[in-house]
Amino acid sequence: MNIKNFNFRIFITNLIVDLLYPILKAVSSKNSLLAFSDACFIIAMIMALIGIAYALYLHGDFDITGYIASRSLNKEKKDFDVYMKDQKIKRKDSFNYPLLCAIILFLLSYLSALFV
């Protein structure tokens, strides 16, 4: 993760969206802290999987597959070198927000489980 591409507003938006389900689960449950902890852990696992897949994308592990798919679906045939330059430019200003949110949700789940 490149910290210079970090945007605090996007991060807060992602974290609020990720915390909606755990908060709703805590409000509607009898044992609210346990429900919050469990829901945070479940959402963190899902976000970690998304974050790992996005990290693979950011490192270029799916470039050949994307090139083959775009070449077969589009009428315009680009060279592989041109396609790679376009992909590097597209990924240059990216940050892995799902992985960071997953780490924070894991911490929230752990801390709230300590107080159950």
Helical spans, DSSP H, in 29-96: 32-58, 63-73, 80-91
Higher pLDDT, 107 or 74: 107
Q: Are 37 and 111 in contact (CB under 8 A)?
A: no
Return mean pLDDT, the chain. 93
- Cβ-count burial 53-74 (b if 16+ within 10 Å, e if not): ebeebbeeeebeeebeeeeeee
- At 1 the pLDDT is 58
